[in-house]
Amino acid sequence: MLQILLAAPLAAALSLPAQMHRATMRSGPAAAASFSPIQMVASAEVDADAEPCDVSSDVKDMSCGGSMSPKAPFKKIMAANRAEIAVRIMRAATELNMETVAIYGYEDRYSQHRWGADQSFMLKPAETAVKAYLDVEQVVSIAKENGVDAIHPGYGFLSESPEMVQACNDAGITFIGPTVEVMNKFADKTAARAEAIKAGVPVVPGTDSSVTDPKQLTDFVAEFGLPIIMKAAMGGGGKGMRVVREEKDLIPFFESATSEAEAAFGDGAVFVERFVNRPRHIEIQIIGDGKGDAVHLWERDCSVQRRYQKVVEIAPAWNLSPELRKQMQDDALRLVKGANYLNAGTVEFLVEPDGKYYFIEVNPRIQVEHTVTEQVTGIDIVQAQMRIAGGASFAEMGLLQENIHATGIAMQCRITTENAERNFTPDTGTLSVYRHSAGFGMRMDGIGYSGMTVQPYYDSLLVKYTASGSNWEEVVRRMKRALQEARIRGVKTNIPFLLNVLSHPVFEAGVVTTAFIDENPDLLKITGAKWNFASKDQADQNKVGDTERLMRYLANLAVNGHPTELGANKESLDKIRTIP
């Protein structure tokens, strides 16, 4: 008998079933995953007929109970989106041995998602760059003409459109997401609220339908008072959100919210709720089979927000009592089971300091922050979406609630091309350097490359970094290192701002509220920022990149000579001897 440590490929080569220990969930920022040593006993005598999970071992195979070699759910999948989520969809499809199709607007003709697909098709120009991706008829037509049998919408754009689902159904194409009936229940936030009330899930006081008339606003304020929050009825991501604290802002904010919602989602409808002050934003990741069963993949804390857009996401949520966690998980499952929810989605809650919580919405789609859940559960959510849409059952996929565990902790940071010191104004230009971070416990989802032109037409998200580790402190340290190691030049990014966030003592303690950034304006100060790195060149924002800038100056000097704009005497330049 030989006792050795085995990597997964070696275990497979020896036909040895494996089992992997999972950590027990514990609360608190310092809660570490309690891993057992991974050891395996190799023997010359192996029972070829043994069941994959029918062995006594210290290592547990995460695929136990599910199909280890799933057949391709479809032949050809279209990613009806752009940028990093389109790339994510196509990678998942390729791993399941399916062909991939991309669509792109003219402004996206040099985007990575275009040339990362097996086939790509340019959309016809529209009134705006974004609206080209909202053309349901054109998207479905391209898919049908090119043999696409399934469409994954990603997030944003058409991901919450019942019309898109119906158009796919009419064309004989599978929509990888909820059914039309489910979309009608949850894509419209007011309808979702009604479903939550029916399921006995606590909700924030709000309007029962979309608000289209200013009088509806004034009537609501007369009954519930200020502050209130307006939200886009047909989308998320912070678009169309406005908090009204003074009555004079009521109508102007209503007009700007409806205008922004119309531009982002093609529907300007909004609804209104009482504003909950300083809550945590906790969301439960769920997957439904469309037949009344559903599982949760634990939760995420998305409380670090700017303008109601998430900046940092964490899975699972720390310093959340087991009782409160269980209540929200149970409420989320009761809601989606009662609606016969199909495919992946997120049930979102606001949690007040006293532990009271309220349902706010269901996002019937994949989320930007799905990566952190994948890292702690080991479940590829995008592939799970594809397999469920292809008819796979929970049993075939091994999606049994008792087998879904959260191991360790993961954190995602969204890196955007924005200038924090100028109120996060989006920056544009050419990426002269794009060298992303890597290393143990780091994941990168993005579309950048040296020479890429960042344009003003789309969302400013460039790349997502996801750090994983066994405990909170380890993950924070790892993410700080990765952010500092990243080299993105040519445009401003929010990396210094993210380092400020991760270095703040309140954040380091492990619990923040949605008011964290607003209550700490110093987080927006980039010039002169200092961080806790041993190297002085890494700890001081003014010194970061000094060597790089010097080398670029010397290289330019060697090629183009001394710049006259810096005072060089033109008459004397020809007397300077250059190195042969």
Known catalytic residues are 365
- SS3 assignment, position 314: strand
Element (H, E) at 558: helix 546-560
The closest of 365, 336, 50 to 176, measured between CA atoms, is 365
Dihedral of CA 497/305/133/466: which sign? positive
The CA radius of gyration of the chain, in Å to the nearest whole number, is 26
Contact indicator for 572, 564 with CB cutoff of 8 Å: no
Q: Two tokens at 555?
A: 């290289």
Contact indicator for 124, 187 with CB cutoff of 8 Å: no
User: Cα 515 to the chain's mean position, in Å?
Assistant: 20
CA separation for the pair 81, 452 (Å, rounded): 19
Bridge-based pairing of strands 429-430 and 409-416 is unpaired
The closest of 343, 340, 333 to 401, measured between CA atoms, is 333
Matching residue, tokens 């000579």: 561
CA 170 → CA 77, 89, 424, distances in Å? 17, 23, 42
Q: Two tokens at 50?
A: 């043994």
Contact indicator for 479, 465 with CB cutoff of 8 Å: yes
CA separation for the pair 204, 197 (Å, rounded): 10
CA separation for the pair 356, 281 (Å, rounded): 12
- SS3 assignment, position 338: helix
The closest of 440, 486, 449 to 467, measured between CA atoms, is 440
DSSP codes, 113-147? HHHTSSEEEEPPP-SSHHHHTT-HHHHHHHHHHTT
